[in-house]
Structure 1
Amino acid sequence: MRATWSGLIQFGMVALPVRLYAATEEHPVRLHEIHTADGSRVEHRRFCRAEGREISYEEVGRGAALPDGRMVPLTEEDLAFLPLPTKRTAEVLGFVPGQDIDPISYSRPYFVAPDGPGADRPYALLVEALARTGYVGVAKIAIRSRERLAVLRPRHGVLVLQSLLWADELRDPGDLASSAPITDRELELAEVLIRELTGVEVRELHDEYAHALEQLVTAKVSGEGLAEPTEGGPAPAMDLMAALEESVRTARAARGD
């Protein structure tokens, strides 16, 4: 793995040299853009408006727009002097119980690795202390041209830094919640159903979209048709109590009770 970031994690007077590595990799199924008239691939070209011509990748740089519309070019050397302490140091601002962090704010996770022999002991100490207390460290860090809040937490003996969305990046759900009344008996049955359905082997679940897409492509090439997809799941229940009672019976039967 290639390191995404290197620098210091600072907690109190302890400075821990680390490297960050992406902890996840998505495997998206990519569909190409085509010209619907003839099926040929569509290309996206880099075009300079001022000169009215296509330019090469080597001619492309980055810039910041001023309020009057002018563009200020910024080079990698310029960005290296960005006056932002979190570029090279992630200072732990404090520690909070892990459950105090709303999961909706979690963003990208990174594995944290000690960088050099002198980092091993403070790294092991931080991992074990967090594991024992159930607390997570809250820090600020600049990764990939963005400053983020982040939490530091242990996972199977490894320190994980998980970036967080800022508060103003979380949307207000508005009036999406339901105000429909529920009875005590309905709530009791729903709780029983939840307990009966406790336990999912997440590692055994797989993304079936790629396989379904492959079947579709094969059918298109061969000229064969595909069967109409079946609607997933039962229709919405008209009688909530009856649906809950039947669900509990089915769940118990599946468990052999």
Structure 2
Amino acid sequence: MATARAQWKGTLQVGALSVPVALYTAASTAERTTFNMVNRDTGNRLRREFIDPTTGKPVEKEDQVKGFEIEPDNYVVIEPDELDAAIPQSDKKLAIQAFVPFLEVDPLFFDKPYYLAPSGPGADAPFSVLRNALQRREVGALAHAVLFRRYRAVLIRASGPGMIAHTLNFDYEVRSAAGAFEEIPEMEIKGEMLELARHIISTKVGKFDPAAFTDRYEAAIAELVKAKIEGRTISAPRPRTATNVVNLMEALRLSAGVKKADRKQVASPKTSQPSKKAG
């Protein structure tokens, strides 16, 4: 981490133990291709201005304030000093509240990951003690802190020689699944359909390798920019031809690579179509 720039420095505290630590960005979009808006005719970069819709005039930065809409076109104005006074002041502490089994935390609550490392003289030994304890007990540490002007919950876990700190979404920020899942019928799947699905999974078992997933959008945009600079033209890729399989059982058989002669070996003695459970 010698060349990395810390995003935050403070202390990790649990009971009487206080460890100087630093947070480093673990995931970033800085390497993505970015664009600026320019004038097609002049090639000049455009400048963004805030315009008052009534007067039609630009509003200078010192006259711009935040406003909360209480009814259509009616705002309560929040001055910068009022906002600063309302924000909790950072005491530069990651205060551990509890230790929980890491796998019990629903990934829906994960926000952003940061590398957590010891920082400053005398930090290495207590940091290692805490990291090793988390690793052996297979638990994560739930902590709270004011980070980047917001009060945040953080889950800390051991990772290699250091630790990973995930900022967490609060409960009110995670939407209920009911709205998305309420119209999914409850069905009982058995027989050949279930066996085929199991067969498909068993033939495609693998290991998670982030390097195997490529950002095709980013690669395409980067190639487009390169081609424009070099004066080349690139042709749009042809869309994949969709397979015209409308029968669920046949689609499962094709996905499993099961030939007609082999179907009896894969299927269970009894073949059932999906049916709704009796209420």
Instruction: Confirm or deny a common fold (TM above 0.5).
Output: yes
CA displacement, residues 23-70 of structure 1 (integer Å, 9 cap, x when unaligned): 1222333233355787764321366999x55647xx589778798734
TM-score, L = length of structure 2: 0.71
Match of 2:18 in 1: 15
Match of 2:266 in 1: none
The verdict on how the C-alpha distance between 1:223 and 1:96 changes in structure 2, with shifts beyond 3 A counting, is closer
Match of 1:139 in 2: 143
Q: How far apart are residue 206 of structure 1 and its match?
A: 2.0
* 1:190 partner amino acid: A
Q: How far apart are residue 122 of structure 1 and its match?
A: 1.4
229, 232, 252: which is aligned to 2:238?
Answer: 229
> Unpaired segments of 5 or more residues in structure 2?
259-279
* 2:13 partner amino acid: Q
CA displacement, residues 168-197 of structure 1 (integer Å, 9 cap, x when unaligned): 111223343321634213233222322221
215, 234, 246: which is aligned to 2:254?
Answer: 246
Contact map agreement 1:219 1:226 (CA 8 A) in 2? no
Contact map agreement 1:87 1:143 (CA 8 A) in 2? no
More off after superposition, 34-43 vs 207-216 = 34-43
Q: How many residues align?
A: 243
> Unpaired segments of 5 or more residues in structure 1?
251-257
Distance 1:118 1:221 in 2: 54
More off after superposition, 212-221 vs 26-35 = 212-221
Q: How far apart are residue 222 of structure 1 and its match?
A: 5.5
The verdict on how the C-alpha distance between 1:36 and 1:172 changes in structure 2, with shifts beyond 3 A counting, is farther
Alignment of 1:29-68 (within 5 A): 29-34=33-38, 41-45=45-49, 55=60
Q: How far apart are residue 2 of structure 1 and its match?
A: 1.7
Distance 1:209 1:141 in 2: 36
Is residue 2:196 matched to residue 1:189?
yes
* 2:79 partner amino acid: V
Contact map agreement 1:93 1:139 (CA 8 A) in 2? yes
Is residue 2:176 matched to residue 1:172?
yes
More off after superposition, 144-153 vs 110-119 = 110-119
Distance 1:112 1:202 in 2: 21
Contact map agreement 2:11 2:94 (CA 8 A) in 1? yes
Larger-gyration structure (1/2): 2
205, 218, 221: which is aligned to 1:210?
Answer: 218
* 1:208 partner amino acid: R
Is residue 2:43 matched to residue 1:6?
no
CA displacement, residues 229-249 of structure 1 (integer Å, 9 cap, x when unaligned): 3137x4474222222222223
Contact map agreement 1:64 1:74 (CA 8 A) in 2? no
The verdict on how the C-alpha distance between 1:221 and 1:22 changes in structure 2, with shifts beyond 3 A counting, is closer
Distance 2:257 2:210 in 1: 24
Distance 2:214 2:76 in 1: 48
Q: How far apart are residue 88 of structure 1 and its match?
A: 1.2
Contact map agreement 1:65 1:72 (CA 8 A) in 2? no
The verdict on how the C-alpha distance between 1:136 and 1:62 changes in structure 2, with shifts beyond 3 A counting, is farther
